[in-house]
Structures are given as C-alpha cells and as structure tokens.
Amino acid sequence: MQTEKLLRGIENCSCGKSHSCPIEEVRIGEGTLQALPELCRNYHHIVLVSDDNTWRVCGEQTAAILGSKVQTSLVLHADGVVIPDEKAIETVRSAASEKTDLYIGVGSGVINDLCKYVSFGLGLPYYIVATAPSMDGYASVGCALILQGMKVTLNARPPKAIIAEQSVLQNAPMEMLQAGYGDIIGKFSCLNDWKLSVLLTGEYFCQRVYDIVYETAQQVQALAQGVAVRDGKAVSALMEALVTVGIAMSYVGNSRPASGSEHHLSHYFEITGILEKKPYFSHGIDVAYSSVITATLRQRILSSRPEKRPFDRDAYEREIRRIYGSSAQGIIELQDRVGGYSREIPAEEKFDEIRAILSEVPTPAQFEQMLGAVGLDMAQCWAMYGEKKVADGILYAKDLKDRYTVLNLYYEFFREV
C-alpha cells in the first residue's frame, strides 16, 4: 500500500521542511479485525467507543475479539446522528479511569473526532476501527467539533493504528461510500484554493504534498464504477486514498491540503442545518456538491475582470447575524482576530495569475459528471437547500474559517452588499 511508504515520512523536503506522521499501523483489507489482539498486546484497560449503528456493525465484534482487555464499552445514543459537541466530549472523557491506557473508536467521522480529541487531552493513545470509507479525517491531526454552536477544527494527534475490515467497508450505506468518494473529488477544488492563497497571501506551500493529494484524487476518480457497485478492491482503495490524504494533512500540520472552499460550504450547510433544525447531507456529499458550486464561481471570475468592492462593515455584520444567529458573534470575532477584512489582498494587480490558477480546475460540468458516476445528482442539492441558502453560503461560508479561498475572492468582487 502507498500508505506504508508515506508513514515513513519525507526527510528534507524541497519545501524546506521534513514531514512525518505518528501513525504506526494501517491495516486495510480482509481479516484485519483479527489483528487487533496483536496490535493491542501492550494495552489492558481499553475504552471502546461506538454509537448505536457502529456497535451493531462492528463494535460488538471488536469487543468480543479483545475480550477482557476492554475496560468499558461506551455506546453513544442519539436521535439521528451523534453531534460532537461539549456533551458528547464529556461523555467520552468520563468513560476513562486512572487505569485506562487506550481508546479505540469504532465508527467514522464523529466517533473518530471525539476519540481523537479526548485521548489527546488525556495524554492517551487511540486506535480507530473504521466502519465506512466516508471521510479523510481518519489519519489527520485535526478533529472537527461543534463547540458553542460553531464548527471548529482543532489540532490533536492522529491514531496510532487504523484498522479497516474490507467486508465492513463494502457493506456501509451507499451514502457513506458516495461521501468518501465526494470528499476526495473535492480535493481538485481545495488544492486550487491552496495555490490561490499562496499567490495572494504568501501562505506556505509544499509541492510534494500537493502532488500526493492531486494524484490520489485522480486515482479515486478512476474508482467510481467500482465504488458504485461496492467492489471490494475499489472500496478498499477508496479507504486507502482517504488515509493517504489524512497523512498529507499530518505532514503539513493542518487540513490545508484537503480542505478549501468546498469544505467551508459543507460546514456552512451543517452549522445552519443544526441551528435551524433542518436536514443536511453528510459531510462528504456536501463537499461533492459544493465542489460544483465553487467551480461555477471560478468560471464566473474567469469570464470577467470585475473591480473590487468597498467593504461595508455594518452590512457585513447584519448578514452574518441574520445567517448564523446565536453563533454570529463568535464568527465575527474570528474574522477580526485573523484580520479577514483588514488585510490587503493584491487581487486586482495579479488578476492574470489568478486566471491561470483558476483555469486548472475541472469545470462544473466535469465535476457533475464525476459525481454522477457514483449516483450523486446536483438536483438533490438544490432540492435540499434552495437557491437562497446556497447564495448565502457562497458569500458567508468563508467566515467560518480563517483560510483564504475562492469564496473570499468572489466576495471581494461580486457581492451586492
């Protein structure tokens, strides 16, 4: 597997840094659950964390394989999805005792993030037993949480081991397979945002990491037919791709190689869905649809040469408070803290270079074709969210994060207020 090589790191990279990843084991394929006793030979007081669904899928089997090594089996209950908020964090934290020496999460995004965050805070290692190839955060340093009503990504530490049983991955809900595929296809968008930010803000860039993620996205694009029919090898390859991207994030110490404008829109749909108590798609599917939306923005910028609009602070705050309600003040304070609206961005004078970068991304039609190959249809996005919600997200999803993307560029030139 490519991941075996990547786990060894890169010394003296051309970007001026050395890259490393603290993950010790990645096991993807058939029979990997049976490796758990060997992988856990030095641990004797394990907290096993799952939710209602993942306990049935794989948690109970994992507990049986580990036997008396499991000190506590914590099953998180929720109506719908578990939200990684303060309450869930405390529940996972309180399951540990003075004897606890390892956390094992059984699940995907939320379970992984909760175990990553809590184990890091307690100074304990953790493993993740993946139940679906649904997102790229398994191997990353970041954990996505919802704190005080805001979507935040905090740095922690990757798991010491990632275990993914092929039969479990194959039988995950098709929505989760689509989500993992969509999360990787979104890399074409976020990598372009990275280049854009390098040009306009001088952000750090690593060509080697960029190439790893870009090539992984191309490989996953070729897996679409196999993923759509649950082919075992294709699903395992998708899982490896998701881990590869996570390692790339670990290399640079943040999510920049894997998260840009398409992720900001995804977070926006999730946060506003929670605030408004309205449905939203899973993260990776939102990323997939958002990649089409951001590609449309790039096309509009490419077809014009607009003038930068003056910033109206009062109008900006009104819109943020309208959209984000109780979470608005924290969002405004974040942008003030990072200088989101006070820094000078030389967009107009570098417009030719901007056009060259934006032209590297697949077109909206090409993105839609990639998504259609696994059964995703943009009509579902418009039906779920509607034009007004998408329009608000285009202008104000960027404010959830401190990262420059095409959303910032579009806002500077095309906003109406």
- 310 CB neighbour count, 10 Å cutoff: 4
* Torsion from C-alpha of 133, 137, 138, 144, nearest 10 degrees: -120
Query: How far apart are the C-alpha atoms of 66 and 37, rounded to whole Å?
Result: 6
pLDDT at 314: 95
Residue 417 predicted with pLDDT over 70: no
Task: Scan for tokens 């075992």, then name that residue.
Answer: 232
pLDDT digits (tens, 9 = 90+) for 277-294: 999 999 999 999 999 999
pLDDT band at 322 (very low <50, low <70, confident <90, very high): very high
Contact 405, 301 (CB under 8 A): no
Nearest alpha carbon to residue 70 among 98, 33, 93, 100: 100
Task: Scan for tokens 């390098």, then name that residue.
Answer: 198
Q: Which of 5-14, 71-80, 189-198, 360-369 comes out lowest in average pLDDT?
A: 71-80
pTM of the predicted protein model: 0.92
pLDDT digits (tens, 9 = 90+) for 206-256: 999 999 999 999 999 999 999 999 999 999 999 999 999 999 998 998 899
pLDDT digits (tens, 9 = 90+) for 88-127: 999 999 999 999 999 999 999 899 999 999 999 999 999 9
Q: What is the mean pLDDT of residues 35-63?
A: 96
Residue 79 predicted with pLDDT over 80: no
Residue 19: its H or E element? none
* Percent of the chain scoring above 70 in pLDDT: 100
In one-letter notation, the amino acid at residue 320 is: I
Average pLDDT over the chain, rounded to an integer: 94
Q: Which of 55-69, 137-151, 153-167, 194-208 comes out lowest in average pLDDT?
A: 137-151
pLDDT at 309: 87
Output the DSSP codes for 113-130: HHHHHHHHHHT--EEEEE
Task: Scan for tokens 């056009």, then name that residue.
Answer: 355
Query: How far apart are the C-alpha atoms of 197 and 45, rounded to whole Å?
Result: 46
pLDDT at 259: 96
Those residues with Cβ within 8 angstroms of residue 407's Cβ, 6 or more apart along the chain or in another chain: 261, 264, 265, 294, 297, 394, 395, 397, 398
Q: What is the mean pLDDT of residues 264-274?
A: 94
CA distances from 78 to 81, 84, 113, 347 (A): 6, 11, 16, 46
pLDDT at 142: 86
pLDDT digits (tens, 9 = 90+) for 364-375: 999 999 999 999
Query: How far apart are the C-alpha atoms of 62 and 78, rounded to whole Å?
Result: 21
pLDDT band at 57 (very low <50, low <70, confident <90, very high): very high
pLDDT at 132: 96
Residue 1 predicted with pLDDT over 80: no
Query: How far apart are the C-alpha atoms of 102 and 69, rounded to whole Å?
Result: 10
pLDDT at 13: 96
Q: What is the mean pLDDT of residues 179-191?
A: 98
Reduce the DSSP state of residue 313 to 3 states and report it.
Answer: helix
Residue 398 predicted with pLDDT over 80: yes
pLDDT at 356: 97
pLDDT at 253: 87
Residue 57 is given by DSSP the state I
pLDDT at 219: 96
Residue 2 predicted with pLDDT over 80: no
Q: What is the mean pLDDT of residues 55-65?
A: 96
Q: Order of strands across the sheet with 70-76? A: 25-29, 161-165, 126-130, 102-107, 46-51, 70-76
Residue 71 predicted with pLDDT over 70: yes
Q: What is the mean pLDDT of residues 388-399?
A: 97
- 359 CB neighbour count, 10 Å cutoff: 12
